[in-house]
Chain A
Amino acid sequence: DIQMTQSPPSLSASLGDKVTITCQTSQNINKYIAWYQQKPGKAPRLLIGFTSRLVSGIPSRFSGSGSGRDYSFSISNVESEDIASYYCLQYDNSPNTFGAGTKLELK
Chain B
Amino acid sequence: QVQLQQSGAELAKPGSSVKISCKASGYTFTSYYISWIKQTTGQGLEYIGYINTGSGGTNYNEKFKGKATLTVDKSSSTAFMQLSSLTPDDSAVYYCARDLPPYDVMDAWGQGASVTVSS
Contact = CB atoms under 8 A, between A and B. Distances in A.
A34 B45 contact: no
Given A91-B101, A97-B47, A98-B44, A43 B95 contact: yes
A94 B105 contact: no
B59 interface: yes
A43 B62 CA distance: 24
Contacts of B106: 34, 46, 89, 91, 96
B interface residue count range (under 10 / 10 to 19 / 20 to 34 / 35 or more): 20 to 34
Interface in B43-61: 44-47, 49, 59, 61
Interface stretch (B13-21, B76-84, B107-115): B107-115
Given A94-B102, A97-B47, A43 B107 contact: no
B109 A43 contact: yes
A91 B35 CA distance: 12
A43 B96 CA distance: 10
B45 A98 contact: yes
Contacts of B46: 98
Contacts of B45: 44, 87, 89, 98, 101
Contact of B59 (A94, A100, A101): A94
B107 A49 contact: yes
Contact of A43 (B35, B59, B101, B112): B112
Contacts of B44: 87, 98-101
B14 to A, nearest CB: 26
A47 B44 CA distance: 19
A95 B107 contact: no
Top 8 A-B pairs ranked by shortest CB distance? A43-B109, A95-B61, A98-B45, A96-B47, A34-B105, A49-B105, A95-B47, A46-B107
Given A91-B105, A95-B63, 10 more contacts: A43-B95, A43-B109, A44-B45, A89-B45, A91-B101, A94-B59, A95-B61, A96-B106, A100-B44, A101-B45
10 contacts: A34-B106, A43-B112, A44-B45, A46-B107, A89-B106, A91-B105, A94-B61, A98-B44, A98-B47, A100-B44
